[in-house]
Amino acid sequence: MSEIYSMTGFASVRGSAGEGLGFTLTMKSVNHRFLDLSFRMPSYFDGLEAQIRKLLKDGLRRGHVDVTLQVERRVSTEVQLNADLLGAYVKAFREAASAHGIAGEPDLSALLRIPGVMSVESNVGLGETPELDAAVIEQIPVLVEKLNAARALEGAALGDDLLSSMQRLRAFGEEMAELRNGVREAQFERLRARLVELTQGVSVNEERVLTEASVLAEKSDIEEEIVRLRTHVDRFVALLDEGGELGKRLDFLLQELNREANTMLSKTNGATGENSLRITELGLEMKAVIEKAREQVQNIE
């Protein structure tokens, strides 16, 4: 089986654009009829969005994709000492001590805690950074590759489940094919008896009664539906083997399979006998398998 991609996945990469400047890119995708891109980035990256959008369109086909960029800037901190202010405090302390005959030296720790003697300056580095733009663009193909790897992993599991579903449908079809002859004969006898009952007392050719009963029984036969079911199942399996962008085509085939199951149920409705009841059960089981497969196919690219 070739590679099949789910539309559900998550990927994350980290990068940097020089000392003190880093970023994290994350991408999360869920199912969607088309490719729908949504971005969460700092405002000064608006000009970069168009470039990222183009790269994503080259690497992805379907799904609602959320792209998030978080920028991490390391703060550069410097401690500044106001030496003139500190000297003024020391001089004032000594003059006051001399004037009042007090011996001792000022407490440096206490002086450094005086507002204005020491200050802390930080450089956050806000604004546009060409180096950061280039680093982010460089990581987009890596991010897409990681996301597709995650989507391929889930796609493989979906493909296995769908293949199993097709095998079940094929088995149901084979059992129906074995039962249909008995059902057709039972319907013929039931219709013939009903026609004889309705034409009692009326001069009707026995051969005409048999012909009409045969035509009615033929109309309720499910051979054509079984043949089409086999054809659709074979095509479905072939598409799974082919891989690639399959979601819409598989969904169409499942609609056709559901139509065949409905027709078979409609044709066997009201039929009596053990074989007829079993065919009805098989038709209902088919519909349950098809419905589950349709839910899974909605998540395939």
Q: Nearest CA to 256 among 238, 221, 218, 230?
A: 230
Residue-wise pLDDT for 44-70, tens only, equals 777 788 899 999 998 888 899 999 999
Q: How confident is the model at residue 16 (pLDDT cuts 50, 70, 90)?
A: confident
Q: Which residue has the higher pLDDT, 45 or 241?
A: 241
Residue 268 to residue 277: CA distance in whole angstroms: 8
Cα(239)–Cα(257) distance, integer angstroms: 15
Sort residue 155 into left (φ over 0), alpha (ψ -120 to 50) or beta.
alpha
Q: Identify the residue whose tokens are 């409705």.
A: 269
Per the structure block, which two tokens stand in for 172? 């149901």
**Rounded CA separation 27/65 (Å):** 7
Report pLDDT digits (tens) over 91-117: 888 888 888 778 778 888 887 888 887
The tokens describing 263, both together, are 């027709």
For the chain, list the domains and their CATH numbers. 9-75+125-151 (3.30.230.10), 76-123 (no CATH), 153-297 (no CATH)
- Higher confidence at residue 220 or residue 87? 87
Which whole-number Å values give the CA distances from 106 to 80, 82, 96, in the listed order? Answer: 21, 17, 11
Segment 236-259 mean pLDDT: 92
Task: Quote the pLDDT of residue 124.
Answer: 45
- Prediction pTM value: 0.66
Cα separations (Å) of 244 from 164, 179, 298? 19, 38, 15
Q: Decide if pLDDT at 204 tops 60.
A: no
pLDDT digits (tens, 9 = 90+) for 142-189: 999 999 999 999 999 999 999 999 999 999 988 888 776 655 555 555
